Structure 1
Amino acid sequence: MNYKKAIEYLYNSRPYGKIKYGLFRMEELMDKLGKPQNSYPIIHITGTNGKGSVAAMITSILIEMGFKVGLNISPHIISFKERFQINRNLIAEDEVVTLLEEIRPYLEKMDAKGEEFAPSFFEVITAMAFLYFKMKNVDIAVVEVGLGGRYDASNVIEKPLVSIITTVGLDHHKILGNTEEEISSEKAGIIKSGRPVVSGVTRPSIRRRIEDIARKNNSRVYFFWRDFQTYLVELKPGNNLFHYEGKCRYENLSLSLNGIHQLQNAGVAIKALEVVSDELGIKLKEDTLKRGLSNTTWPGRFEKLTYMGKDLILDGAHNPEGTRTFIESVRRYFGEKKIRLLFGALDDKDYKRSIQLLSTIADEVIVTRVSSHRSTSPENIYRVWKTYVDNVKYIDKPKEALEELLKTSRNLVFCVGSLYLVSEIRQLILGGEENA
């Protein structure tokens, strides 16, 4: 088997996007593999938005602290290999093949018991990540959930160093629940007995739900604006200054990631590392923290690129909560003027509410198709836009849509609505291998 065949197997034999409930398949697979997830300490992260940014910051700071850090993320932006990283280095193609060949015999035995027992795409790649980090002998792994928390494939982690719940909003509500309180219960399912929890949640009713679950698990919870805070000093693209106050106070920290929301994410990341430092009996040094934050990279999150001689900001805001955050960042960095927008969304997202919100800041929009099996009716998205904004076009191919928008632009344009669209546009601009 080569890398191409391995990817084809994962996407075709394990149908991509098919969700399977329950943890019994993962538990069985982990048992067959010798429970690799128990071989190293893990920081486990869930949340509606901010998971990836928090994971990236924590990883960057831990690397500066001298640790060998495994990072497991979902989804990837350009390459499948982004899902498995060691100290920011992507897994090699032959290592993907090796992992799959080791796991495949167990998969086939489970498949033989029937469809219900056949591990899903996400379950398989999560198992591959746990096994990979054991093979590479990492010091710490940072693991991001795929969906929810309680029944997510990653929730076979038994004793996390710390569990993180970044935010809670109405995303995947058809799967996780119809209210933020219901969704918070699903996400709080990653809380484990006696293990600390850090959260960026600020809404009182959701905090109470998380605290109730933490109390039943005898777990201490640290909340943003109650147990730790961040204070804005200056917003400047690539050099956003803020103060942090938690166990310690750190002043004039510089964060490379853009967006006003990233200050809260940074606060969550720092507090989690304060907790981890206490757990491991080590010291979090200010100069190390500063280097880690300033060196953090996370593609597709209010990221500024240049194409056809014009500036473009990519942001993977794909739900109403993320859209509100995007709008606030646009206003904080660029004022109240209207913007020109390339937009694409998946059918299973609340794109109608996102469009309604974005219409308050957009005066010209080009809608395009997102390259995903979950994008089946972009024409409907175009029609929704037309109810709010007069100057709207539909161009099916993202490359043609972007170039049309840039052709008549004098200033900055924005691309928002789906990480899949951001991925395609980013690959168009920067090149690189195909998005697998």
Structure 2
Amino acid sequence: MGKLRMTDVEEMLKRRRVAGISYDLSRMEALMKAMDHPERRIRVVHIAGTNGKGSVAAFTGRILEYAGLVTGSFQSPVFGPVHHHVLIGDQPLDEGVFLKAVEDYEALVQSAESHCDFGMISEFEWLTGLAFYVFDTVCPVDVAIVEAGMGGRLDSTNVMPAPLVTVITNVGYDHQAFLGDTLEAIATEKAGIIKAGVPCVTSAAEPALSFMRGRGNETGSCIITVGEPEVPLSLTMKGAHQQVNAAVSMKAAAIALEAFGMSMADSVMQAAIRDLQVPGRFEEVRYEPAVIVDTAHNVEAIRTTIANIRTLYASKEVSVLFAAMQDKPVSAMLKAFQEAGLKPVVTDFSHPRAMKQEAYPKPYERAADAKSWVKAHLKEAASEDVLLITGSHQFIGDMRAFVTKC
């Protein structure tokens, strides 16, 4: 085998996509066994929830770093190349270190596959296992911040026996094909990350909260509810939902710090997170006219984004460019814009699961090429106008990179 390159890693992951989405832990458990169980040695903050996982992970990590701890983060999906899934502090793992880690890790994966009859490790399982390998062996960290990919109970990340703290940001409708069609069913799946004796912090509302409390009673876990702060926090991240995300993160970080015999005043935590901006989370990437990119990709997130637009840009002329994955509730998402008096322009993007333009409902204006449409729109827009680009993480990643260069 020659020297490994990033393109080789991308091809490795592409081949693993044929394994599909496995909402089952058997392959991960076999992989962890082949790796001598790194998930038992790392100290973890485990985060699940329908929306807000990335923001809570970033806020929590920043606070723990501010306290002097070495943190690692596993996130998915990401903007940028594959090594951006694994962060040390707030920086992607060095490319050279990443490639060496992959060489050693892939040998462990192949060993696990050769000794079991479960077939191929999936793309997400592979990435999850790599993160655990890095945090345990390659770049040991004090705390790993791990975002669940989907649901919780059978998500690939849910192999840690005893995290420092678990977080369930909120519960809404997403991934119903795997998690169920009701909030109760989805809440039950997400509550699967709650572990015996491990505190769980959540901002979930009823009826989902009742199911989490039931799981807490079963496991002896304290369910800690957090809402919007009475006194607003000073944040760069805009919107009432980010106030809640920050408050959840502060509580989760405080619990994690206790495991190290440490504490931090709320005022110091606020100072730590004040200037944080997570890419693609209601992020203003251009000014006069303003362009906001937001990764909202389900109905609840779209409604939150609309509320932010109406609150922060109430007097502005707002245009919307929208594209989504075909397995999302696209009609309901578009309807939310209509109900708010906004007329989204629909488009598509390069991804196997992206909804094609001809599949969108007929009343909506179409942009044959998203980048050409944005260029023309910005040329004609007044300096005080606002353009919102939203609908899919992948789409936002592409458009964010494009707009920042316009």
Relative to the length of structure 2, the TM-score reads 0.93
Question: Distance in 1 between the 2:15 and 2:156 partners?
Answer: 18
2:344 to 365, 380, 405: 365
Question: Distance in 2 between the 1:170 and 1:16 partners?
Answer: 26
Structure 2 residue aligned with 1:426: 400
Structure 1 residue aligned with 2:391: 417
Q: Quick one: which amino acid aligns to residue 28 of structure 1?
A: A
Measured after TM superposition, the shift of residue 287 of structure 1 is: 4.5
1:182 to 142, 162, 185: 185
What root-mean-square deviation, in Å, do the aligned CA atoms of Structure 1 and Structure 2 show?
Answer: 2.0
Contact 1:59 1:142 in 2 (8 A): yes
Measured after TM superposition, the shift of residue 404 of structure 1 is: 2.8
Q: Which runs of 4+ in 1 moved over 6 A?
A: none
Q: Quick one: which amino acid aligns to residue 425 of structure 1?
A: M
Structure 2 residue aligned with 1:121: 123
Measured after TM superposition, the shift of residue 207 of structure 1 is: 1.0
Aligned length: 400
Question: Distance in 1 between the 2:117 and 2:300 partners?
Answer: 35
Contact 1:111 1:117 in 2 (8 A): yes
Deviations 1:246-286 (A, max 9, x none): xxxxxxx3111112210111111111122223333211134
More strand by share: 1
1:334 to 310, 313, 323: 313
Question: Distance in 1 between the 2:134 and 2:127 partners?
Answer: 10
Tell me if 1:402 matches 2:382.
Answer: no
Contact 2:23 2:156 in 1 (8 A): no
Unaligned runs of 5+ in 1: 233-241, 243-252, 387-391, 432-436
Question: Distance in 1 between the 2:50 and 2:317 partners?
Answer: 27
More deviation, 187-196/92-101: 92-101
Measured after TM superposition, the shift of residue 382 of structure 1 is: 5.0
> Matched residue of 1:326: which SS?
helix
Contact 1:64 1:292 in 2 (8 A): yes
Identity, % of aligned positions: 30
Structure 2 residue aligned with 1:322: 301
Deviations 1:156-179 (A, max 9, x none): 111100010001001011111000
Contact 1:60 1:295 in 2 (8 A): no
Contact 1:78 1:424 in 2 (8 A): no
Contact 1:367 1:401 in 2 (8 A): no
More deviation, 405-414/137-146: 405-414
More deviation, 94-103/138-147: 94-103
Q: Quick one: which amino acid aligns to residue 412 of structure 1?
A: V
> Matched residue of 2:293: which SS?
strand
Structure 2 residue aligned with 1:196: 199
Contact 1:369 1:398 in 2 (8 A): yes
Structure 1 residue aligned with 2:230: 231
Contact 2:62 2:272 in 1 (8 A): yes
Question: Distance in 2 between the 1:363 and 1:338 partners?
Answer: 10
Matches within 5 A, 1:281-296: 281-296=261-276
Q: Quick one: which amino acid aligns to residue 13 of structure 1?
A: R
Question: Distance in 1 between the 2:203 and 2:342 partners?
Answer: 33
Unaligned runs of 5+ in 2: none
Question: Distance in 1 between the 2:243 and 2:10 partners?
Answer: 39
